[in-house]
Structure 1
Amino acid sequence: MTEYRTVRHRLKELRKKKGTQEQVGMALGVTGTMIRLVENGYTTGSGNLMIRLCRYVGGTVEECFPDVHQSSISYLNSK
């Protein structure tokens, strides 16, 4: 079984302007490991975390999570 994941380069770029993964995680009440997992596409975390992270780094959900945004559009178009 092949694992599908998309590294979220723009999220990572914006996060670096705010600090380390540990610093951003602490500011959002999660671990640096969670931020790393989100950036590297292993998880999205909760919807709440996605939104808080985007607001914190100054990006949109579409910009920070293009894979999730595209999956949502594809799902809606298939209905």
Structure 2
Amino acid sequence: MAEIIYDKFVLGVPLYRQLSGIRRLGYQTSEATLANWVNKSAQQLLPLYEELHRHLCSAHHLQGDETPIEVLREP
């Protein structure tokens, strides 16, 4: 599950494209099943997210890196 979520949200690989790799490993599943797994994983992680959010909101200040990154070479 961690690899599926990582590939989807970090690498930007859609679930339908991940299916071919999963099927090469010999598993038969559908895109709908993968989507359901991702949703159920998010529900399981919600308490952790809420605790992290509470902790961050209680901090005196937050710091972020706002270093600009050039995406296109334009004037």
TM over 0.5: no
Give the alignment's TM-score, normalised by structure 2. Answer: 0.28
Give the alignment's TM-score, normalised by structure 1. Answer: 0.27
> Which entry has the higher C-alpha Rg, 1 or 2?
2
